[in-house]
Amino acid sequence: MNFAPLYSVVRRTAAAVAVIFLAALIGVGGPPQAVTSVVTFHPAVSDFQFITASETPPTQAQCASVNRRCFNATAMRNSYNLGPLYGQGLDGRGITIGIVDSFGSDTIAHDLRVFNDAFGLPHMCGEEGVTCGSGMPMFSELKQGNVNTTGQPPNNGTGLETHNLWALEVALDVEWAHAIAPGANILLIDTPTAETLGVQGFPDFFKAEKFVIDRHLADVISQSFASGEDAFNSTQSLLNLRYAFEAAKAQGVTMLAASGDSGSAAISKQPVKNPTMFPFPVVWWPASDPLVTGVGGTYLCTDPNTGGGVDSASPPVQCTSNPGMREVGWIAAGGGFSHVFARPLFQNALPALSTPIPATARGVPDVGYQASSRTGVLVYITNPGYTGIVCPGGSLCSAGWYVVGGTSSGSPQWAALIAIADQINGGPLGFINPALYKIGNDPTRYAADFYDVTTGNNGASAPAVPGYPATTGWDPVTGLGTPNAEKFLPDLVLAVNGN
């Protein structure tokens, strides 16, 4: 089973927010362990490019020089039409976003401050050098066991337990959840392993999530990790891990997960030096779980400087070769049809001309968001020794700005969107999947609330494993589409409440 992080970074100073240690609280007993064999989860950040070591964000010219466009906070917010909501004071305040990653990051408190300075975003209580004030959003960490991202484990040839790789996932998740919902609190939930080997990695994640859910420490949780469904030894070993999702539904916590970054493919087992790819299409769990909202991926072809309008002239080729298209289905976005879960009731009716979902299989994902690093988000990180990229002069350069991609970029940003919807609602919305498809089944609401992505495919591993095309309505690359936040978030609140 393959389990990977989906980019996010966060840390804190001694005088800032208190760190909660779970080891003594959840290290003994707890929910049943999964019966798995040599299964590994890893971050869902699939691609990234170092741009500059300066604390000043790179220019679009710098990004174009490596055939990419880079989105700053303002451009991304405008691309999904969040400005009118911010103008009404709707920014997620009073809501807490939980972000689950292995290892955490020793530099996140510093990196978050640089990120916020660079883009003029509100600071959080818990950042390095920030004095906490009344009404400030809180950044805090919940550590399970001995979490440390500075050191590296022995090299076993797979790289999946490289702590600093998860640190980039942490930076992505934390910085961009805050960028989209700047008034929300963020709780970074760190776990001490990135491998399961039967009883470790996945169970650690879900014990920590259950702890958070039972104590009402978060209202919405983003999961930037995934494993191919078919990598589990048995269906039951996967089902044994669902208890956190069942608790979330019962207690009104929204669960989101990235759909994966291998297109329609997955590998059978890790860690191994020569992993075997399944010779048939596979979806990734937990995004495939009906109790979770799965987030697929796109290339975003709006203006990277402002977020306004469609820019079909700037790199990458996926935008220049699709003139007039604001988004194109990302070739590596996970999606397809579950081999574990049947089609849930909420997917029985779809928008007109959608890709059909068979009764025997849950369709993945539910929604989409920008994901490719070719049209990626800017992330700042100083965690030492991250990539080993050689800068001019021959020295290793790791601190600085990266443009980052992966469906794990969309999951924390969707969590931030839900935090804003929770604020509109006056409290958590909880399980949102039926409401999403209720909107999708109303042509007027659907046209107003979603950007329907109808171009592209997720055949990253074709022809060995065929992919699926993005189509009108729901499809196995971008789900129902990407959000027009001004219209969608208030309408989601209405739909959850039966309207």
Residue-wise pLDDT tens digits, 130-166: 999 999 999 999 887 655 554 444 344 444 455 556 7
Give the model's pLDDT for residue 194.
59
Give the model's pLDDT for residue 395.
55
Cis amide prior to 365 (ω within 30 degrees): yes
Give the model's pLDDT for residue 393.
58
Digit-coded pLDDT (tens) for 329-372: 999 999 999 999 999 999 999 999 999 999 999 999 999 999 99
In angstroms, the CA 125 to CA 140 distance is 8
The 10 Å Cβ neighbour count of residue 388 is 9
Structural contact between residues 468 and 264, judged by C-beta atoms closer than 8 angstroms: yes
Q: How far is CA 135 from CA 83, 131, 165, 217, 283, in A?
A: 21, 12, 33, 18, 41
Q: List CB contacts of 338: < 8 A, sequence separation 6 or more.
A: 229, 283, 288, 361, 362, 363, 364
Phi and psi at residue 216, to the nearest 5°: 55, 45
Q: List CB contacts of 178: < 8 A, sequence separation 6 or more.
A: 112, 115, 116, 121, 124, 137, 139, 184, 186, 416
Is the four-CA dihedral 208, 47, 266, 477 of positive or negative sign? Answer: positive
In angstroms, the CA 104 to CA 154 distance is 18
Give the model's pLDDT for residue 167.
80
Tokens of 107: 């530099």
Residue ranges in the chain whose pLDDT is less than 70:
1-46, 145-165, 193-201, 269-274, 384-398
Tokens of 239: 């089902």
The 10 Å Cβ neighbour count of residue 395 is 8
Amino acid at 21: F
Angle at 265 between CA 259 and CA 269, to 5 degrees: 95
